[in-house]
Chains A and B, each alone.
Chain A
Amino acid sequence: MSGSVLYDAPGPRARARNLVLSVVGGLLIVGLVALVAYRLYDKGQFDGAMWDIFNYAGIRENILDGLAATLKVFAMAAALSLVMAVVLCMGRLSDHKPVRWLATGFIELFRSVPLLITIFALWVGIVDAILPVEVNIEPMWALVFGLAIYNSCVQAEVLRAGINAVPTGQREAAYAIGMRKTQVTASILMPQAVRSMMPTIISQLVVTLKDTSLGYIILYPELLQTARLIASNTQVNGDYPYVPTVIVIGTLYIVLCLALSGLANWIERRGRRAKTGIAPTEAKVPEQTGALP
């Protein structure tokens, strides 16, 4: 960060002022944290007994089960959303108007509906209301399909941006040597689009991972719901161990997400060094306009 552009190299007075600000700011922050910590301590949330619950095999197994459920949903939703994204992206760039309209409509609709609304609608049986058949959707599948539908729309737009970033000469050259439409897309455009968009795609996968926590609301026992169950079913000295469980589960989430965004950043840095192909995008969450441009 070239922060130094915004201010001069500090002279003696500025150094003194910065020191004072450092101390005051640092004290304020430490004080705030200490105040919260003290309130928590005062309520007995830092008692040894509160934290002792994580020594029970049952609770550890619960947490592991929750983690496994979260990862399972994430893996299925991620795979499904990427496959659907390729299809939607192809549809959106199709030469046939009806296909293009259908894909665009689908993308614009589900990108602008809150994910929670989609998941909830799937859970309470919107499929029954549309199709004449009786389908009973379990919370897990409602979560997976909801996540897949929403994220595929975002990823499809990311892929489309990637394909549009490939220089036109490449497509023209491919057609000129006699490649078919499918061949051009599959062997010229897609590989480069995926490669350049990889950091953004992975950043959106981080969002998918975070959004698996919406399973909490439809009562699917993933990590967050597990945390709530543990905290509300365990009593230590007549108090519920909300703070310890939130700290443990929150750390798990943050570590998972940081690992995934670390991967995105690594790929971005690695791609920067490469001399060939189009440059990779920045590893950041794609903008969700969610309303027609």
Chain B
Amino acid sequence: MNVLLDNLDLFREGFVGTVSLTAGSAALAVVLGLIIAGFRVSPVPPLRLFGTVWVTLLRNTPLTLLFLVAFFVVPQVLFPGIDSYLLAVVALGMYTSSYIAEALRSGINTVPLGQAEAARSIGMTFTQTLRIVVLPQATRTALPPLSSFLIALTKNSAIAGAFNNVDLFNIQKVLSNEGYNILVIFIWITIGYLIVTFSISALFRTLERRLEVAR
């Protein structure tokens, strides 16, 4: 138990690192996911194509490869001297956005056809139909997969720790190098992740209850 008390500062830093990585990339992923989902159902062919390519490429690329690109190609070739937290958030956010876009798209597909038809028949444009009628309903069906993708994102954020970001995995690495009992470290790190994932699922359960409508 001394492992935790001796290194409380490190653990706190790692926990805060994981939480801020998760929060930052979740925000980016949701925004990007919304835009890409919009692209995928839009009447404009090049945008539709872009959306499809984005989702297909990112869903079939290992996240570690994205991190390799982010940490070795981007700083050396495109933007030198960029912050490593920003790079990690962009890599994680882009990766997760492809999953969120798909969840939203299948949510859009479950909205009854009559809803969109009614919206069109009272003269709404594509953007209005999506924003006022379809997306609010799609969000409800997309919430459970969204929460599971955000939990997956939390777990994936451990990879950022391997690329010199301070997070829980990074702390695990540091402490096991210092020769502490790996089992004890493992337990505390796991509890750290559990706190984050439990909070996410609790948050989403509340959201689901709030947004619930009697059908």
Mark A residues whose CB is within 8 Å of B.
1-3, 5-8, 10, 14, 18, 21-22, 25-26, 29, 36, 39-40, 43, 45, 109, 112-117, 120-121, 124-126, 128-130, 206, 210-214, 216-217, 224, 227-228, 231, 240, 242-243, 246, 249-250, 253-254, 257-258, 261, 284-285, 287-291
Contact = CB atoms under 8 A, between A and B. Distances in A.
A45 B169 contact: no
B73 interface: yes
A117 B158 contact: yes
Nearest to B192: A117
12 contacts: A7-B43, A25-B46, A114-B154, A114-B155, A114-B193, A121-B186, A214-B159, A240-B76, A242-B77, A246-B69, A287-B148, A291-B200
Contacts of B194: 112, 291
B60 A120 contact: no
Given A22-B45, A25-B44, A113 B190 contact: yes
A126 B155 contact: no
Nearest to B119: A6
Interface of B: 40-48, 50, 56-57, 59-65, 68-69, 72-73, 76-78, 99, 102, 108-109, 113, 116-117, 120, 125-126, 129-130, 134, 144-145, 147-148, 151-152, 154-159, 161-162, 168-169, 172-173, 176, 181-183, 186, 189-190, 193-194, 197-198, 200-201
Contacts of B102: 284
B145 A287 contact: yes
A107 B131 CA distance: 40
B60 A253 contact: yes
**Main secondary structure on B side of the interface with A:** helix
Nearest to A129: B183
Nearest to A259: B60
B101 to A, nearest CB: 13
Given A25-B44, A213-B62, A246-B73, A6 B156 contact: no
With most chain B CB atoms within 10 A of its CB, the pick from A8, A112, A116, A125 is A116
B159 A291 contact: no
A204 to B, nearest CB: 12
Nearest to A215: B64
A290 B169 contact: no
A223 B66 CA distance: 14
A211 B151 contact: no
Contact of B129 (A6, A21, A29, A124): A6
A269 B69 CA distance: 35
B76 A6 contact: no
Contact of B47 (A25, A228, A249, A288): A25
Contacts, number: 177
Contacts of B155: 112-115, 288, 290
A110 to B, nearest CB: 10
B186 A117 contact: yes
B72 A231 contact: yes
Contact of B65 (A40, A114, A213): A213
A121 B65 contact: no
Given A21-B47, A257-B60, 6 more contacts: A6-B43, A114-B158, A217-B64, A228-B68, A250-B69, A291-B194
A209 B43 CA distance: 35
A125 B145 CA distance: 35
Contacts of A117: 158, 168-169, 172, 186, 189-190, 193
Contacts of A116: 158-159, 161-162, 169
A110 B137 CA distance: 34
A228 to B, nearest CB: 7
A242 B45 CA distance: 33
Given A39-B77, A117-B190, A243-B73, A290 B148 contact: yes
A14 B123 CA distance: 13
B166 to A, nearest CB: 15
Contact of B156 (A114, A242, A254): A114
A57 B80 CA distance: 33
A249 B77 contact: no
B197 A290 contact: yes
The 6 closest A-B pairs by CB, nearest first: A213-B62, A114-B155, A257-B60, A287-B148, A26-B46, A129-B183
Contact of A250 (B59, B61, B172, B186): B61
A276 B148 CA distance: 32
A120 B152 contact: no
Contacts of B57: 254
Nearest to B159: A116
B197 A3 contact: no
Contacts of A290: 148, 151-152, 155, 197
